[in-house]
């Protein structure tokens, strides 16, 4: 080792930003949200639209359904009011989005559609296409197979399809997919690798809200029966030969997992707070410099307006900081004023990309 | 005649290829006893009439950290060869890293005779195998089937709580759609696999593809975050996609129980106990009713799971 080199900081090669301008994709569930959200900084929108005949056919005894959980939803959001339900509203939403210079995407992302759904789906997709929807967010490869040669709307692969490798992206590219929504659980390095290997694709990743515990596409419970992930169970542990195991650490670990699943479950905050149900703000530094992400997704169809507005506002400010060169440490500091429970940020339980500082140059 | 396959989820269970019927868990308490009772009933129905397995499934569908090694595959292939069994290699949902591992092993074992099928549970794995190993038949594994599998309702509750069309939707796999089967054909895939869901299976529409069904375990939910990985870590070092694991899932089983089914109900048919099993990153249910699997002519293979498939 050369004398005098020991304490010299190793300089990282200067990397030019790969992302000059990412879209902010916001959820909407009300016709009056478009202009307001656009003003706050959203540049793309997505929504669900479920016509009444779907409700009537696939949901039993659903009077006043708009206030209830759906038994069986047309898309992955099972809360009635998280979806638009009138065609008039839907047409207006598309029109307003376009007048504001934004795109509007529609979720048709139930994990699968059996044959009995297809007479409805055929008409429904044609309607969305005729309404000049900009993109359809789809999970089921059968539906992609059916529509990819005929629709004018762009096809977006839903996060429920769990595309977590470059090969999976290449595969769905053959089905006409033009944008990938990355799974909720994927590392920054994996996204970087995929976007490098398959650059001729648009990519979208989650950045705030909605961090489910299990993989969307591989979770098969009925949300209308309550969320499985936050339910409390009576447990016993066994070894693989099924002899009882009494290690306290197993039960402590189970408590940690419940805390990971739903920290401060159902707690509502005042106007000044932010509930942190998923956050990847610190990783914006890494994303801006290294990953070809085209759109940052805010989860939260069905959240109240204040929360949605707060998310858009936070992301817009953070993104502006990241474009100006803010470090992960500075972005974390920026987020601190919104964090009522700093321990959630520190233990990374709600962190979308907890690997953001696992590379030396990005350590906080 | 239905084909019977035995699923061996990991190398340490290799002996079950021969002892699938006689192997007994220890039976130390009532809670575990439920699991053993279900398994015994299924085993009895399946093998009482002289059925014997003709195929071994080797591997797991749920975690890429458990992908078999070359040595493990060779050993299992030798056992299969000795007994005249065919062999299917089971592969999980994967990142690029997992696909790389699968490719490296397949390169090394591609000439082993008994292996004629790969069970794929990920589009990237399918893409790579189709590109590099065209000799294998690919099968759409049960993770690619997205039917609801909620064990918190009894069969009766499924039948009464949903509309007729709703129930049909819940009983029908995605492959009941012609469009899906056209997609399968384009992928050169002729077989799909399902779990034996509580609500029952409606398979009338699927006449041009072959169907396997797993019993007695089905999977409820699965995730990249493994509650078992890093059990002994500090809380802030748990529950990340990058958490290092020591295959704790191979050491522990968590039996989980609730006293009532999920829905408040005035009906008598609700479940008095809901029981599920967590192993590693996956939660499983058990279904002892395999009558339909034995009767339904659309199902031509039953995959028997002697242990929790992880």
Give the model's confidence band at A259: pLDDT under 50 very low, under 70 low, under 90 confident, else very high: confident
What CA–CA distance (Å, rounded) separates B129 from B143?
Answer: 17
Q: Which two tokens stand for residue B255?
A: 């039996």
Of B122, B186, B250, which has the smallest distance from its Cβ to A168's Cβ? B122
What is the CB-side half-sphere exposure of residue B27 using CA atoms within 13 A? 10
pLDDT digits (tens, 9 = 90+) for A132-147: 999 999 999 999 999 9
User: Is the CB of B126 inside 8 Å of chain A's CB atoms?
Assistant: yes
Three-state DSSP at B148 gives: coil
Mean pLDDT of B266-288: 82
The interface predicted TM-score (ipTM) is 0.94
Nearest CA in chain B to A115: B177
Residues pairing with B115 in the sheet: B87
What CA–CA distance (Å, rounded) separates A331 from A165?
Answer: 28
User: Is the CB of A117 inside 8 Å of chain B's CB atoms?
Assistant: yes
What CA–CA distance (Å, rounded) separates A112 from A139?
Answer: 7
Determine which helix (DSSP H) or strand (DSSP E) holds A94, and give its type and residue range. Answer: helix A87-99
Give the model's confidence band at A11: pLDDT under 50 very low, under 70 low, under 90 confident, else very high: very low
pLDDT at residue A359 greater than cutoff 70:
no
The Cα of A75 is separated from the nearest Cα of chain B by a number of Å equal to 13
Residue contact A236–B180, C-beta within 8 A:
no
The Cα of A111 is separated from the nearest Cα of chain B by a number of Å equal to 6
Residues A21-60 as b/e (b if ≥16 CB within 10 A, e otherwise) read ebbbbbbbbebebbeebbebbbbbbbbbbbbeebbebbbe
Q: Which two tokens stand for residue A207?
A: 């950045």
What are residue A283's phi and psi, to 5 degrees? -75, -5
What are residue B179's phi and psi, to 5 degrees? -60, -40
Nearest CA in chain B to A227: B262
Give the model's confidence band at A28: pLDDT under 50 very low, under 70 low, under 90 confident, else very high: very high
Nearest 5°: the CA angle A245, A247, A249 is 140
User: Is the CB of A246 inside 8 Å of chain B's CB atoms?
Assistant: no
Q: Which two tokens stand for residue A126?
A: 């044609």
Mean pLDDT of B207-229: 95
Q: Is the dihedral of CA A213, A218, A221, A222 positive or negative?
A: positive
Which range of A147-161, A202-216, A298-312 scores highest in mean pLDDT? It is: A147-161
Of A112, A145, A171, which has the smallest distance from its Cβ to B124's Cβ? A171
List alpha helices for chain B, DSSP H: 16-19, 30-47, 70-83, 96-109, 123-132, 155-161, 164-171, 178-186, 291-295
Q: Is the dihedral of CA B95, B97, B103, B105 positive or negative?
A: negative
Nearest to A279 by CA among A346, A224, A232: A346
What CA–CA distance (Å, rounded) separates A143 from A114?
Answer: 10
User: Is the CB of A192 inside 8 Å of chain B's CB atoms?
Assistant: no
Distances in Å between the Cα of A189 and the Cα atoms of A24, A240, A280, B95, B238 are 22, 34, 14, 11, 19
| Residue A278 φ/ψ region, left for φ over 0, alpha for ψ in the -120 to 50 degree band, beta for the rest | left
What CA–CA distance (Å, rounded) separates A296 from A321?
Answer: 15
Nearest to B36 by CA among B200, B44, A234: B44
Residue contact B96–A72, C-beta within 8 A:
no
Residues 158-177 of B with CB under 8 A from A: 161-163, 165-166, 168-170, 172-177
pLDDT at residue A8 greater than cutoff 60:
no
pLDDT at residue A291 greater than cutoff 90:
yes
Nearest 5°: the CA angle A272, A83, A105 is 95
CB < 8 Å to A162, chain B = 93, 122
Interface probe, candidates B28, B66, B127, B153, chain A, greatest A C-beta count within 10 A: B127
pLDDT at residue B225 greater than cutoff 80:
yes
Give the model's confidence band at B297: pLDDT under 50 very low, under 70 low, under 90 confident, else very high: very high
Distances in Å between the Cα of A134 and the Cα atoms of A93, A97, A188, A279, B15 are 12, 10, 28, 27, 55
pLDDT digits (tens, 9 = 90+) for B36-63: 888 889 999 999 888 899 999 999 999 9
Residue contact B250–A170, C-beta within 8 A:
no
Distances in Å between the Cα of A127 and the Cα atoms of A49, A71, A104, A120, A123 are 11, 24, 14, 11, 6
Residue contact B95–A186, C-beta within 8 A:
yes
What CA–CA distance (Å, rounded) separates B249 from B14?
Answer: 17
User: Is the CB of B256 inside 8 Å of chain A's CB atoms?
Assistant: yes
pLDDT at residue B27 greater than cutoff 80:
no
Of B127, B169, B221, which has the smallest distance from its Cβ to A114's Cβ? B169
Give the model's confidence band at B6: pLDDT under 50 very low, under 70 low, under 90 confident, else very high: very high
Three-state DSSP at A230 gives: coil
Of A146, A171, A213, which has the smallest distance from its Cβ to B223's Cβ? A213
What CA–CA distance (Å, rounded) separates A27 from A36?
Answer: 12
List alpha helices for A148-270, DSSP H: 166-173, 188-197, 248-261
The Cα of A353 is separated from the nearest Cα of chain B by a number of Å equal to 9
Mean pLDDT of B188-192: 97
- How would you class A7 by CB atoms within 10 Å of its CB: exposed for 0-12, middle for 13-18, buried for 19 or more? exposed
- How would you class A121 by CB atoms within 10 Å of its CB: exposed for 0-12, middle for 13-18, buried for 19 or more? buried
pTM of the model: 0.93
Residues B224-239 as b/e (b if ≥16 CB within 10 A, e otherwise) read bbbbbbbbebebeebb
Q: What is the CA radius of gyration of chain A?
A: 22
CB < 8 Å to B28, chain A = 242-244
Residue contact B186–A233, C-beta within 8 A:
no
Contacting residues for B7 by C-beta, under 8 A, at least 6 apart:
B57, B90, B214, B303, B304, B305, B306, B309
Residue A226 has a pLDDT of 82
What is the CB-side half-sphere exposure of residue B192 using CA atoms within 13 A? 25
Residue contact A220–B162, C-beta within 8 A:
no
Nearest to B287 by CA among B120, B149, B146, B172: B149
Residue B262 has a pLDDT of 52
Residue contact A242–B153, C-beta within 8 A:
no
Residues 311-350 of A with CB under 8 A from B: 346-349
Residue B166 has a pLDDT of 94
The Cα of B65 is separated from the nearest Cα of chain A by a number of Å equal to 15
Residue contact A238–B252, C-beta within 8 A:
yes
Given a contact cutoff of 8 angstroms between Cβ atoms, the answer to whether A274 and A304 are in contact is no
Residue B304 has a pLDDT of 96
The Cα of B40 is separated from the nearest Cα of chain A by a number of Å equal to 15
Of A170, A185, A244, which has the smallest distance from its Cβ to B29's Cβ? A244
Given a contact cutoff of 8 angstroms between Cβ atoms, the answer to whether B272 and B255 are in contact is no
Interface probe, candidates B25, B195, B235, B274, chain A, greatest A C-beta count within 10 A: B235
What is the CB-side half-sphere exposure of residue B86 using CA atoms within 13 A? 13
Residue contact A213–B182, C-beta within 8 A:
no
Nearest CA in chain A to B235: A256
Given a contact cutoff of 8 angstroms between Cβ atoms, the answer to whether A76 and A160 are in contact is yes
CB pairs under 8 A between A and B: 271
Determine which helix (DSSP H) or strand (DSSP E) holds B121, and give its type and residue range. Answer: none
Q: What percent of chain A clears pLDDT 90, i.e. is strictly above it?
A: 62
DSSP state of A14: P
Would you give the distance in Å from CA B4 to the centre of its chain?
A: 14
Given a contact cutoff of 8 angstroms between Cβ atoms, the answer to whether B216 and B288 are in contact is yes
Nearest to A307 by CA among A278, A327, A330, A341: A278
Q: What SS3 string covers A331-354?
A: HHHHHHCCCCCHHHHHCCCCECCC
Nearest to A275 by CA among A227, A343, A353, A209: A209
- Strands of the sheet containing A244-245, edge to edge, are A244-245, A234-239, B252-258, B274-279, B282-286, B217-222
Residues pairing with A235 in the sheet: B256
């Amino acid at each position: 080792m050369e004398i005098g080199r020991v304490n010299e900081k190793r300089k990282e090669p200067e990397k030019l930003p790969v992302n000059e301008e990412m879209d902010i994709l916001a959820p909407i569930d009300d016709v009056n949200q478009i202009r307001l959200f656009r003003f706050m900084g959203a540049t793309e929108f997505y929504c669900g639209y479920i016509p009444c005949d779907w409700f009537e056919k696939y949901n039993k005894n659903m009077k006043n359904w708009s206030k209830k959980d759906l038994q069986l939803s047309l898309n992955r959001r099972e809360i009635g009011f998280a979806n638009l339900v009138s065609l008039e509203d839907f047409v207006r939403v598309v029109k307003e989005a376009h007048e504001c210079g934004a795109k509007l995407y529609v979720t048709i992302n139930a994990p699968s559609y059996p044959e009995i759904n297809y007479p409805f789906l055929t008409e429904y997709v044609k309607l969305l296409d005729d309404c000049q929807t900009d993109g359809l967010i789809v999970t089921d490869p059968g539906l992609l197979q059916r529509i990819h040669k005929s629709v004018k709307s762009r096809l977006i692969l839903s996060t429920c399809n769990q595309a977590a490798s470059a090969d999976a992206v290449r595969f769905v590219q053959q089905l006409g997919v033009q944008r990938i929504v990355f799974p909720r659980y994927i590392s920054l390095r994996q996204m970087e690798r995929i976007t490098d290997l398959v650059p001729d694709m648009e990519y979208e990743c989650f950045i705030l809200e909605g961090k489910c515990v299990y993989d969307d596409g591989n979770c098969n419970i009925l949300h209308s029966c309550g969320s499985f992930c936050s339910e409390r169970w009576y447990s016993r542990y066994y070894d693989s030969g099924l002899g009882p195991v009494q290690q306290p650490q197993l039960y402590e670990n189970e408590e940690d997992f419940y805390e990971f699943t739903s920290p401060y479950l159902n707690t509502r905050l005042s106007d000044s707070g932010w509930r942190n149900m998923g956050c990847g703000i610190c990783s914006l530094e890494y994303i801006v410099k290294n990953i070809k992400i085209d759109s940052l997704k805010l989860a939260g169809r069905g959240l109240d307006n204040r929360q949605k507005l707060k998310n858009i506002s936070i992301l817009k400010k953070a993104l502006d900081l990241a474009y100006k060169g803010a470090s992960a440490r500075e972005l974390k500091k920026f987020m601190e004023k919104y964090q009522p429970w700093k321990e959630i940020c520190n233990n990374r339980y709600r962190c979308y990309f907890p690997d953001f500082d696992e590379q030396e140059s990005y350590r906080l | 005649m239905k084909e019977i396959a035995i699923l061996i989820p990991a190398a340490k269970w290799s002996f079950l290829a021969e002892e699938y019927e006689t192997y007994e868990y220890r039976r130390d308490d009532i809670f575990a006893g439920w699991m053993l009772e279900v398994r015994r009933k299924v085993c009895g129905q399946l093998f009482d009439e002289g059925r014997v397995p003709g195929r071994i499934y080797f591997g797991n569908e749920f975690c890429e950290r458990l992908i078999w090694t070359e040595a493990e595959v060779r050993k299992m292939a030798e056992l299969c060869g000795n007994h005249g069994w065919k062999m299917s290699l089971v592969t999980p949902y994967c990142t690029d890293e997992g696909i790389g591992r699968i490719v490296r092993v397949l390169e090394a074992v591609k000439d082993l005779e008994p292996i004629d099928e790969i069970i794929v549970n990920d589009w990237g794995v399918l893409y790579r195998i189709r590109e590099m190993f065209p000799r294998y038949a690919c099968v759409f594994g049960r993770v690619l089937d997205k039917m609801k599998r909620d064990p918190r309702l009894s069969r009766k509750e499924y039948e009464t709580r949903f509309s007729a069309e709703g129930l049909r939707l819940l009983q029908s796999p995605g492959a009941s759609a012609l469009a899906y089967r056209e997609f399968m054909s384009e992928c050169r895939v002729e077989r799909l696999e399902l779990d034996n869901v509580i609500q029952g299976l409606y398979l009338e529409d699927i006449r041009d593809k072959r169907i396997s069904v797993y019993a007695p375990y089905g999977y409820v939910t699965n995730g990249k975050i493994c509650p078992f990985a890093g059990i002994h870590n500090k809380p802030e070092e748990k529950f990340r996609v990058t958490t290092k694991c020591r295959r704790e899932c191979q050491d522990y089983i968590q039996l989980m129980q609730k006293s009532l089914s999920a829905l408040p109900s005035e009906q008598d048919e609700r479940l008095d106990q809901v029981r599920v099993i967590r192993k590693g990153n996956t939660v499983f249910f058990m279904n002892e009713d395999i009558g339909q699997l034995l009767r339904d002519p659309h199902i031509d293979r039953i995959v028997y799971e002697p242990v929790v498939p992880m």
